[in-house]
Amino acid sequence: MTRFVLSTTICGAELGERDLDAFARHGFNQIELAAGAGHFDIRNTAAISSLRNWLQSSGVAIASLAVPWADAASALTVAIELSCPRIVLLGGRCRVHPAAPDLPNDAGAFRRVLEPLAAEAARRKIAAAVEFPRAWSADTVIETLESLEDATAEVCLDIGHAHMSGGAPETIEALSGYLGSVHAHDNQGRDDQHRMPYSGSVDWPATLMSLWKTGFAGPIVLEAGPDPDTMTTLARAVGARTRLQAILDDLAQPMVFPE
C-alpha cells in the first residue's frame, strides 16, 4: 500500500513540537524532515534531542531526511539517531530548499562524491536517494547511478520539477526501476511554486498511472511550501491525500472484461 508522507517544508519557519502534533491529528504519522537554516539544523545536538522527544510524544516517525548533498555525511549519523530509513540528497535550490547548493555539473565529479556516501549509507542500512537537478536528462541520471562500482543509490523524483521539464509521466517511465521515492507538489508548468497537488496543472491521474505501471512501491512525499500558512496547507494536504488515494484505489482494482 502506498504511503503518504508529509514534508516539514509546509512549516516554512522553524519546526516545533506543535507542528508534529498537528500533523498527527490530521492523519500524517510519517514525515520527511527537511534540513536547512531557519527550519531544522541537523548539526544542533540539542535540537535533535528535542525532536526525538517530540516524535515519541506525538507518535510521528521520520520516513526520510532531506538534506543538501554536501551535508550527507552528517545526515547519516542523524538518521541513525532518529531511526530514519532513508536520506534524500537534494540536487539544488528550489522554493522550499532555497539554501541547497547545486550538484556538481559534471556527472563524473558527482559520482565520485556519491559513491562513498552511498556505500556508507548501505553499510548503515539506510537507503540513499538523490533528487537530481531537473536539467539532468534521465539518461544522465541512469548512467551516473549505473557507474557506481561499490554502492547503489536510488532516485527521488520531484514531480513538480519534472512537470516543468517535459512531463512527470514521461520522466517516471524513463526512470522505471530506479525510483525510491517521489516528491509530490504542483505548479502551472512554468514557476517552481511547490503547491499542494491539484493546485496547478500536473496531470495527477496520468502521473499515478505511470507510477503504478512501473511498479513503484515507495513513499509519496507531499512537499509544499506554506501557502498561505502552515495550517491552511495542512488542510489542503488532507484533501490532496484523499484524492490521490482514490486514484490509487481505482488502479488497484482488478480489471473486469465483458464476456
Q: Which domains does the chain have, with CATH numbers?
A: 4-252 (3.20.20.150)
DSSP class of residue 200?
A: S
Per-residue pLDDT reduced to its tens digit, 164-173: 998 999 999 9
Where in 95-207 does DSSP place strands (E)?
A: 127-131, 154-158, 179-184
202, 220, 210, 209: which is closest to 251 by C-alpha? 209
**E strand or H helix at 234:** helix 230-252
Per-residue pLDDT, averaged over 191-220, amounts to: 97
Residue 255: pLDDT over 80: no
Residue 257: pLDDT over 70: no
Name the percent of the chain lying above pLDDT 90: 80
- What cell does 167 get? 512531463
74-91 as b/e: b if 16+ CB within 10 A: ebbebbeebebebbbbbb
Contacts of 240 (CB under 8 A, 6+ apart): 184, 196, 197, 198, 222
Alpha-carbon gap, residue 222 to 91, rounded angstroms: 18
One-character DSSP codes across 25-91: HTT--EEEEE-BTTTB-TT-HHHHHHHHHHHHHHT-EEEEEEEEGGGHHHHHHHHHHTT--EEEEE-
Task: Output the pTM of the full model.
Answer: 0.95
